[in-house]
Amino acid sequence: MGTMIRTKGLKKIYRVGSEKVVALAGIDLEIEQGEICCIVGQSGSGKSTLLNMLAGLEKPTKGTIAIAGKMVTSMDEERLALFRQENLGFVFQSYNLLPQLTAVENAALPLMFSGMGKAQRERRAMDELSKIGLEDRAAHRPSEMSGGQQQRVGIARAFVPRPKVIFADEPTGNLDTHTTEQVMEAMLDRVAKYGITLVMVTHEPTLAACGDRVVTLSDGKVISNEYRKKPGGGEAESDDKFISNEARKKPGGGEAESDDNDSEEAI
Ligand code: ADP
Ligand code: MG
C-alpha cells in the first residue's frame, strides 16, 4: 500500500477586487492507495477548493500535489488533461450529466478518447450500470430519471474508466436519506471492489463515518485528521502518521509554512 496523493504547502488565494481570500492556507496531506478519505468542515472552510486542486481542475497559488508518483502541479495543461482522463474520476453534487444523452451514453463518455469503439464503450458502461442496479434505465435521458438514479449514472460514469482516484464533492447533497444510503452503498462497493482511492467531501457526519479517515478543515487548514480504521485493514499505523496539524497552526492567522525536513519529491 503506497501513498496515492501527497500535497505539500498547498495554498490557494483568490483575489476578489482588492481583497484577498485565503481559501487554502497551507495543506500537507497524504492519502494512501485504496483509502476512503472524507473531508468535512463548515461551509467556506475550503473543502471544494481542496478537492478541485487535487483533481487538477484548478491551480494552487503555492505548493505541490503528487498523485500516483506524478507531480501534477508541474504538468502543462495538455499533460494534465491526459493524466486526469487516465487516472482520475469525479462525482459532482449536481450530477453533471448531458441532458441529450441516455444513461448508457453518459456513463460511456469518459471512454470517448480511449480508442475503444462505440459498441465496446457502451458495453463497459452497460456493465457498470447493471452493477449499480440501473440496467433498466440505460435508454433513459436524465430528465426521465430520479435524482438518485441520475447520481448512480454519475457514479457509473466515474467508475467506467477504472481510475486510480475518485473525487466526490457532496455526492449525495441533493438526495433524500434513503437514496443517499443506496448511492453511498453503490459507491463504496465499487471503490472497495476495484481498490480505488476515494476522496469525498461531505457535511453529513454519518457519511464521514463510512470513511477510513476524516480530515476536518477550518479556514483553509487541516484542524484534525482522524483515522477510523486502517486502509486495507493491514499494516499498523505509527503515531507520527496522526499529523498534529494543530501544532502547525500559528496564532494570528500567520502562515503555516511547511516545516518538512524530508526533501524527497517523488512518491
Ligand atoms: P467549502 O467547499 O468548504 O464550502 P470553498 O472551498 O468553496 O468552501 O470556499 C473556501 C473559501 O474560498 C470561501 O471563503 C469562498 O468564499 C472562497 N472562494 C471559493 N471559490 C472562490 C472563487 N472562485 N473566488 C473567490 N473566492 C472563492
Ligand atoms: Mg463546497
Q: pLDDT tens digit string along 74-97?
A: 999 999 999 999 999 999 989 999
pLDDT in tens, 107-116: 999 999 888 9
pLDDT of residue 204: 86
- Strand partners for 88: 165
The protein residue with its alpha carbon nearest to ligand 1, atom 24, reads: 14
State how far the Cα of 173 lies from the Cα of 37, in Å rounded to an integer.
Answer: 17
Residue 82, CB-side half-sphere exposure with 13 Å CA sphere: 6
Closest ligand to 173 CA? 2
Q: Which atom of ligand 1 is nearest to the CA of 12?
A: 12
Q: Is 235 helix (H, G, I), strand (E, B) or coil?
A: coil
Q: Residue type at 66?
A: A
Closest ligand to 16 CA? 1
**Chain centroid, CA 189 distance in Å:** 16
Least confident among 19-28, 187-196, 224-233: 224-233
What stretches of 46-146 show up as alpha helix (H) in DSSP? 47-54, 77-87, 103-108, 118-131
* Cβ 200 vs Cβ 36: under 8 Å: yes
pLDDT band at 247 (very low <50, low <70, confident <90, very high): very low
| Pocket of ligand 1 contains residue 46 by CB under 6 Å | yes
Closest ligand to 23 CA? 1
Whether residue 32 is predicted with pLDDT greater than 80 in this model: the reply is yes
Least confident among 30-39, 207-216, 234-243: 234-243
State how far the Cα of 148 lies from the Cα of 176, in Å rounded to an integer.
Answer: 8
| Pocket of ligand 1 contains residue 12 by CB under 6 Å | no
Closest listed residue to residue 129, CA positions, set 113, 145, 114: 145
**Chain centroid, CA 85 distance in Å:** 14
Closest ligand to 220 CA? 1
pLDDT in tens, 145-173: 999 999 999 999 999 999 999 999 999 98
State how far the Cα of 245 lies from the Cα of 62, in Å rounded to an integer.
Answer: 18
Q: Which atom of ligand 1 is nearest to the CA of 16?
A: 25
Q: Which atom of ligand 1 is nearest to the CA of 41?
A: 3
| Pocket of ligand 1 contains residue 216 by CB under 6 Å | no
Give the cell for residue 22. 485565503
Q: Which atom of ligand 1 is nearest to the CA of 43?
A: 4
- Ligand 1: centre distance to CA 217 (Å): 13
| Pocket of ligand 1 contains residue 17 by CB under 6 Å | no
Tell me how long the chain is: 267
* Cβ 93 vs Cβ 170: under 8 Å: yes
- Strand partners for 216: 40, 224
Predicted TM-score of the model (pTM): 0.84
- Ligand 2: centre distance to CA 169 (Å): 7
Give the cell for residue 30. 497524504
Torsion of CA 16, 66, 166, 154, to 10 degrees: 50
- Strand partners for 39: 201, 215
pLDDT of residue 232: 53
The protein residue with its alpha carbon nearest to ligand 1, atom 25, reads: 14
Q: Which atom of ligand 1 is nearest to the CA of 201?
A: 2
Structural domain 3-96+162-250, CATH architecture:
3-Layer(aba) Sandwich (3.40)
- Ligand 2: centre distance to CA 52 (Å): 10
Contacts with 221 (C-beta within 8 Å, 6 or more apart), sequence order = 25, 26, 27, 46, 245, 248, 249, 256
State how far the Cα of 58 lies from the Cα of 12, in Å rounded to an integer.
Answer: 9
